[in-house]
Amino acid sequence: MVLGVFLAVVIATSPARAQPVQLSPVTDAMLRRPPDQDWLHWRRTYDGWAYSPLDQITRENVATLQLAWSRTLGEGPIELVPLVHDGVMFLPEPDGRVTALDATSGDLIWQYQRDSPGIMRSLAIYEDKVYYASPRDGYLVALDARTGVVVWETSAHDPDCCRHSSGPIVVAGKVLSGRACNNNLAGGCFIAAHDARTGRELWRRYTVARPGEPGGDSWDIPLELRRHVSPWMPGTYDPDLNLVYWGTGVPGPYPHISLGSREGDLLYSNSTLALNPDTGEVVWHFQHLPGDELDMDHAHERILVDAPFRPSDELEWFNPSMATGQPRRLLWAAGKAGTQFVLDRATGQFVWARPLVHQNIIASVDEQGRVTKNAALGHRRIGDVVVAGARGGKDWWYGAYSPLTNAIYQPLLNAWLEQTSSEWDGGASQGAARRTIPSPSEPEYPGMVKAFDVSTGDLLWEQKRHAPWLGGLVTTGGGLVFGGDINRRFQALDQETGAVLWETILNSRVTGGAISYGVNGRQYIAVATGGGSSSSYETFGLAPGIRLEAPEGGNAIFVFALPRRTP
């Protein structure tokens, strides 16, 4: 372990809370099954459902939901998801702060400041510590959850090659972290495991297959030219199988022509990796898009569901040998190419796939899950222009599952990509210039939310809108789905029909992940707004003839609850 110089300070506690807050230790058993009122993982539970069993807020009373409190956050891009434990909310702010708040009022408990601003989507909590992956300087930091004091910190990577953009997860006393790696990092990116109590690095799993290893011959270039394949979102975990599931990004630079001849699948790009968390061993892998040169990451959340497979007539791509009607351990994954995949998470076998939005990137998927790309979308020479879709149909904006409906809900971007290949300078550049353009299918509706039945693959309902939904969703035991768009609308939808049951207009773009938690018998709904990312996903020129004036900035968190009962 390399201990760093202490680079941060803890801002004094609020006068209203002069003593350290009282928190029960977060045990392994609690991480496996969080208390109903808590939100202990970035998607609340190891399985990635983003489902809160709290049911005080229902279809019948959600129309009376009102603001409980709000608080201004630090400046910078907002894509964050809070954690909540024992009535304390923990926030990774974009200006390098980690903040602990009273979850009933937003009053400050403690604040940790680091000179490392940037996108930070999540935190992790275990025992008496909160774990923060510092965006810019490459450090992993353990903070005392009661006081914000640094317990340990360690350098997890060279900041010149990589950055943290999402927080870690904790599995069996190990802090597992992914990262986004530049194209100047020879040999590609990696996932790392550190001891939760000491910060000592335990293992490192590279996401680019090495020569002489399985998949190493899927690249036709030397290891030092194999780049990127970033695992930049957190994984999910099945404790019974003792497998962690992590998605990976694209090879870099994107166009093959920018790096000369580069054929083959390019493992483990755009894949789901099933890892043994004790060793980092790859137990199985599934590649969703081989040999990608269009920046179609598949690094996003993996949702784990136990359900039978009964394919409907809507499904074109499925494995008939899996259609036994018996419950299976399923894994749901999707990526920027706008196509969703369901796998057997014990074996990695393909179950079914179907497009989420209109796309022309994947031509077909065979019964074993092998993808055939649209051959017309390759770059043949420098300066070639390729028009492809979807452009981030599914990306960092978070989906959710509800056991009440056996459905997965996804906020989607219905847009396409125009990409021009360029010379690669050998550094961090991507070898391409890109812009987002309207989809040829329903260009007036760049924003969509869709619900899919996990067992059958059926599209249950869809909601179309003129503004993209680029914030994360949460489902609740009251039969609701909460989320918002970049035109400031935050809504509650009916899980069964998609009908809008409640709406409020906030100050800025809704680009954070919504959550639900409880304190003292009261259920809350929280979401962050503000800067969003700097990417072209948030362009307002996608819908022809529509001008949306959604301000950027004004970062804040808004928390809602039902009115308090009067005596």
pLDDT digit string (tens) for 471-495?
899 999 999 999 998 889 999 999 9
Model pLDDT, residue 384: 87
Tell me, yes or no, whether 1 lies in a domain.
no
**Dist. CA 109–CA 100, nearest whole Å:** 5
User: In one letter, which amino acid is 201?
Assistant: E
Reply yes or no on whether the pLDDT at 170 is more than 50.
yes
Answer whether 550's CB lies under 8 Å from 487's CB.
yes
Question: Which tens digit of pLDDT belongs to each residue from 207-243?
Answer: 999 999 999 999 988 998 888 899 999 999 999 999 9
3 in a domain, yes or no?
no
Strand partners, 1: none
Q: How does residue 305 score in pLDDT terms, banded at 50, 70 and 90? A: very high
Q: Tell me, what's the pLDDT at 357?
A: 95
pLDDT confidence of residue 547: 55
What is the value of pTM for the model shown?
Answer: 0.95
In a domain, 154, yes or no: yes
Q: Which of 237, 288, 243 is CA-nearest to residue 267?
A: 288
What does the alpha-carbon distance between residue 357 and residue 183 come to, in Å, rounded to a whole number?
29
Q: In this structure, is residue 459 part of a structural domain?
A: yes
Mean per-residue pLDDT over the chain, rounded: 91
Residue 224 lies in a domain: yes
144 assigned to some structural domain: yes
Rama region for 54: left / alpha / beta (φ>0; ψ in -120 to 50; rest): beta
Query: Kind of pairing, strands 474-476 and 51-52?
Result: parallel
Residue 42 lies in a domain: yes
By residue count, the chain amounts to 567
Q: How far is CA 270 from CA 28, 362, 530, in A?
A: 30, 13, 30
Judge whether 43 lies within some domain. yes
Total structural domains in the chain?
A: 1
Could you report the per-residue pLDDT of 35-62, keeping only the tens digit for each?
999 999 999 999 999 999 999 999 999 9
Give the span between the Cα atoms of 247 and 234, in whole angstroms: 8
Q: How far is it, in rounded angstroms, from Cα 262 to Cα 508?
A: 43
Specify the CATH number for the domain of residue 110: 2.140.10.10
CA–CA gap between residue 37 and residue 103 (Å, rounded)? 11
pLDDT tens-place string over residues 362-420: 999 999 999 999 999 988 888 889 999 888 789 888 999 999 999 999 999 999 989 88
Which of 167-181, 207-221, 376-390, 496-510 shows the lowest per-residue confidence on average (mean pLDDT)? 376-390
Range of the domain at 101: 8-561
